[in-house]
A and B are shown apart, each in its own frame.
Chain A
Amino acid sequence: MAEEKESEENISALHKKITDAFQLFDYDSNNTVNVREIGTIMYSLGCFPSQADIREFTAKVGEDFSGVVHLDKFLPAMTKVLLENRFPPIPRSKLLQAFKVLDKDQKGYLKPEELTKYMMEKAEPFTQEEMDEMLTAHTHQKDNVIHYEKLIDKLTADQNM
């Protein structure tokens, strides 16, 4: 009995959390958001989907042809995602390993050209805007390289939203 109530409360808390995040992007106050914001909302709820994951999820919850997503479809789908922990966070150690793989000479840092090559040519490439933002924010002022361990520290800070 108590367990049921507990999970009911859990679900209702999850619902509130999802609704709050959704409503931050509901500019017209009519419980819809633009399809393009779905990725951002999912990330902000602590999920780490790939672009392909986002596309798949959006296809399921979006309205055809209108470019918007209604809260009534988003809420149950997103609740399921959170309960299943479908897109779990990437542990810091894996992230560090990933950078080390790209750092062929094991220098401990990456040059902007190297990072750009990987981020913009491989996997799910960055747009120019995304690349510019990453470089501007994280290239060391003086020696003009990206110290990826420091970058990882910044990226993993304040994880609990």
Chain B
Amino acid sequence: MCSWHPNTLGCSSMIDLRAALLIQRWYRQYVARLEMRRRCTWNIFQSIEYAGEQDQIKVRSKCCTDNSLLYFCYKDIEVPASYSGPHLTIPMTFCGLSKLMEAFKHKQQLHARYVLQILGETWRLLRILPNINHVSVCHTKEITICGDLHGQLEDLLLIFYKNGLPSCEKPYIFNGDFVDRGKNSLEIMLILFGFLLVYPNDVHLNRGNHEDHIVNLRYGFTKEVLGKYRVHGKKILKLLQKIFSWLPLATVINHKVLVVHGGISDSTDLDLVARMDRHRVREAFNFSTISVFYRANLEKNASAQIVDLLWSDPMPQNGCIANEVRGGGCYWGPDVTEEVLGRHNLQLLIRSHECKQDGYEFCHDRRVLTIFSASNYYEVGSNRGAYIRMGPDLVPHFIQYQASSTCRELTLRQSVGWTERSALRALRQQLFVHKSDLIGAFQEFDPNNTGVISLRHWATATERVLKLGLPWRVLRPQLVSRAQHGMVNYQQWIRELSIPEPKPEVYTSILETMYKNHSNLETIFRIIDTDHSGLISFEEFRQTWKLLSSHLKMEISDKAIADLAQSMDFNKDGSIDINEFMEAFRLVDLSSHG
């Protein structure tokens, strides 16, 4: 037997070896577990995000569009002497743009008068642009292509810092989804429109699915504008609505590379797209059962072509099927890529629309390239952003980045932990809103009403109810903290997910349904609140509920609604404040793990 004495050379180096091996094995296992958690977290975010988008489509189809014309003149808006932000002149100049970017970097706000001026000029310009822009690249002029930015100003500024500002020598394509989610959507729009105005031949903006006023109601852009511009916000939003509908749909580089926000379908016809009146399609959806109508209807009208271009996602299998996750557009396979690219004599499709870990990703035998420019999209440390540089050889080169300086210092473990906590919070909210269904499903495994079920059954039941396609067994330790001998007390677990104040029984199911649909409700509220005052009358509240309940196939008596409305009228003035109403559903997590 070898002794442990360090001087016994031969033996000691064997021992060292064995010790090192042990540590290496252990450490690799630890890193692998972190990787698993990261992947799980990613899946959670994606499935909740897409499930949300699908919900959104269903709501929108029930609402009518607002066709009123507004007067967009800025001339009678005066800029007070006390205004400390930048002053702009029209026509827009590079100098003005620099002033604007400096101001935004210092968190200043542009006065409504100038906002409307820029938007007005942009609208005038966009109306004369074609549906599909054609650009050429040559040796002295490489082109830069950016994907989704989603209101993350830091990322745009980082791109400009790393790559240089747009100019005649430095053309750019921005591939849609400039707004929503991030908090500087308007600043990004103004900067991009500014560059468009100054370099109209070298800056190209493609419309994304978020350049759509109904999507904006839900995903934050509307709120951002109204919050920043209390007096003129409505006017600004209406003008933006028109501008979005006038944004070009795609860009083609050297007749060989197609750049579009979402993707294609088997019926994509770029000649048709080039000929249509694109501005007539203001919001994406006007029909009720998207998938059924869409696939059954063989005649591809303008609306359907645009929806395909802006909402579709690639899939690994051949074919072309309705995109049920998003609720619009399709999933298209490698065979469709080959066929459509072939038909149009193209060699590469560059699109965005989906967040990618490394900021970009190839698929379909490198014929489709996804580029995504919003780093840390789900949470700090979740993903890098990237942009493409392309010369006349049409070979894409990638530059990746991550905006926040703090996250560069985070180790793998910390960034996984941070992101994971955020995802788990979101997931617990989803579990809460389905609690009645969950209890029902659990009780099926508990015929003797013991109050406990096995963890195996817990996972099966949760999968059945939530349909999010998540690995519940893997996630279980993070969601169910108290499990003894492989059994869980499900009543207690559900309670721990709940809002603290107990509500009277009759309201519980209404409240739960409302909470389940609260982001839909908010969208509906904001549509009905036509003067954007933030208040709606009892009658409007009742009608909102009727609309939602027919959509949900739920029976609720008028009296119950009236009682609920009254209880929410906190200041008893006959109207309900939307913000207070939404506040009532903010979930308080009792057993959050630190």
* Size bracket, chain B contacts: 35 or more
Q: How far is the CA of A125 from the CA of B413 in the complex (A)?
A: 21
Q: Provide the residues of chain A in CB contact with B36, threshold 8 Å.
A: 21, 24, 40, 44, 161
What are the interface flags for B206-248 relative to A under an 8 Å C-beta threshold, 1 for contact and 0 otherwise? 0000000000000000000000000000000000000000000
Q: Is B39 an interface residue (CB 8 A)?
A: yes
B40 at the interface (CB under 8 A from A): yes
Question: Closest approach, in angstroms, between the C-beta of A19 and any C-beta of chain B?
Answer: 9
Query: How far in angstroms is the closest Cβ of chain A from B267?
Result: 24
Question: Which of B55-63, B250-258, B342-350, B471-479 makes up part of the contact surface?
Answer: B471-479
Q: A24-B36, A29-B316 given as contacts; is B473 within 8 A of A16 (CB)?
A: yes
Which of B16, B29, B413, B474 sits near A122, CB closer than 8 Å?
B16
Are A44's CB and B317's CB within 8 A?
Answer: no
Closest to A101 in B: B19
A2 at the interface (CB under 8 A from B): no
Interface secondary structure of B, over-half rule: helix
Q: How far is the CA of A40 from the CA of B15 in the complex (A)?
A: 27
Q: A24 and B17: CB pair below 8 A?
A: no
Q: Which chain A positions have C-beta within 8 A of B43? A: 24
Check A25 for interface membership: any CB of B closer than 8 A. yes
Q: Bound state CA distance, A29 and B469, in angstroms?
A: 12
Chain B neighbourhood of A30, CB < 8 A: 316-317
**Considering only CB atoms and an 8 Å cut-off, how many residues of chain A contact the other chain?**
49
B237 to chain A, nearest CB (A): 39
Interface residue A23 (Cβ < 8 Å from any Cβ of B):
yes
Picked from B21, B24, B29, B411, the residue with its CB within 8 Å of the CB of A136 is: B411
Inter-chain contact A94/B22, CB cutoff 8 Å: yes
Cα distance A155–B414 when bound, in Å? 14
A124 to B21, CA, bound (A): 6
**Contact status of A90 and B26, CB under 8 A, knowing A20-B473, A21-B474:** yes
List the B side residues contacting A99 at CB < 8 Å: 19, 23
Q: How far is the CA of A90 from the CA of B6 in the complex (A)?
A: 24
A39 and B25 contact, CB distance less than 8 A: no
Instruction: Tally inter-chain residue pairs, CB-CB below 8 A.
Output: 122
Kindly state the separation between the CA atoms of A39 and B529 in the bound complex, as whole angstroms. Answer: 56
| A49 CB-CB contact with B under 8 Å | yes
B25 cross-chain contacts in A, Cβ below 8 A: 48-50, 90, 124
Q: Within 8 Å CB of A40, what residues of B?
A: 32, 35-36
Query: Which residues of chain B are near A42, meaning CB under 8 Å?
Result: 32
Question: With A17-B473, A21-B474, A134-B27 as given contacts, are A118 and B16 in contact (CB-CB < 8 Å)?
Answer: yes
Closest B residue to A25 using CB positions? B39
Bound-complex Cα distance A48 to B21 (A): 11
Are A95 and B22 also in contact (CB < 8 A) when A24-B43, A137-B411, A155-B30 are?
yes
Q: A146 CA to B456 CA in the complex, in Å?
A: 40
**Nearest chain-B residue to A9 (Cβ)?**
B456
Q: What are the residues of chain A within 8 A of B27 when measuring CB–CB? A: 119, 126, 130, 134, 155
Give the distance to chain A from B505, nearest Cβ to Cβ, in Å.
37
Tell me the residues in window 98-119 of chain A with beta carbons closer than 8 Å to chain B beta carbons. 98-99, 101-102, 104, 118-119
Determine whether B556 belongs to the interface, using a CB cutoff of 8 Å to chain A. no
CB distance from A136 to the nearest CB of B (A): 5
Residue numbers in A under 8 Å from B20 (CB-CB): 98, 102, 118-119, 122-123
Which B residues between 371 and 422 are near A, CB-CB below 8 angstroms?
411-414
Determine whether B31 belongs to the interface, using a CB cutoff of 8 Å to chain A. yes
Could you tell me the distance in whole angstroms from the C-beta of B101 to the nearest C-beta in chain A?
Answer: 34
**The residue from B30, B411, B474 contacting A24, defined by CB atoms under 8 A apart:** B474
Interface check B482, CB cutoff 8 A:
no
Q: Closest approach, in angstroms, between the C-beta of B416 and any C-beta of chain A?
A: 11
Of the candidates A13, A130, A133, A155, the one whose C-beta lies within 8 Å of that of B26 is A155
Residue B553, interface by CB 8 Å: no
A7 at the interface (CB under 8 A from B): no
Interface membership of A66, Cβ < 8 A:
no
Q: What residues of A have a CB within 8 angstroms of the CB of B317 in the complex?
A: 30
Q: Which A residues between 122 and 143 are near B, CB-CB below 8 angstroms?
A: 122-126, 130, 133-134, 136-137
Measured between beta carbons, the chain A residues less than 8 angstroms from B472 are 20
Which residues of A are found within 8 Å of B26, using beta-carbon distances? 48, 90, 95, 155
Q: Is A3 an interface residue when CB atoms closer than 8 A count as contact?
A: no
State the CA gap A104–B35 with chains docked (Å): 33
- Scoring B21, B22, B24, B27 by chain A CB atoms within 10 A of each residue's CB, the highest score goes to B24
Q: A29-B316, A95-B22, A101-B16 are in contact. Are A133 and B471 (CB under 8 A)?
A: no
Report yes or no: A161 in contact with B16, Cβ–Cβ below 8 A. Answer: no
Residues of A within 8 A of B477 (CB): 158, 160-161
B105 within 8 A of A: no
A97 CA to B16 CA, complexed, in Å = 11
Q: Give every chain B residue within 8 A of A13 (Cβ-Cβ).
A: 456
Given the known inter-chain contacts A24-B40, A49-B25, A123-B24, please indicate yes or no for A98 contacting B19, CB distance below 8 A: yes
| 7 pairs, A vs B, C-beta closer than 8 Å | A20-B471, A20-B474, A24-B43, A25-B39, A123-B24, A158-B477, A161-B33
**Chain B residues with a Cβ under 8 A of chain A:** 4, 6, 15-33, 35-36, 39-40, 43, 316-317, 411-414, 456, 459, 471-474, 477
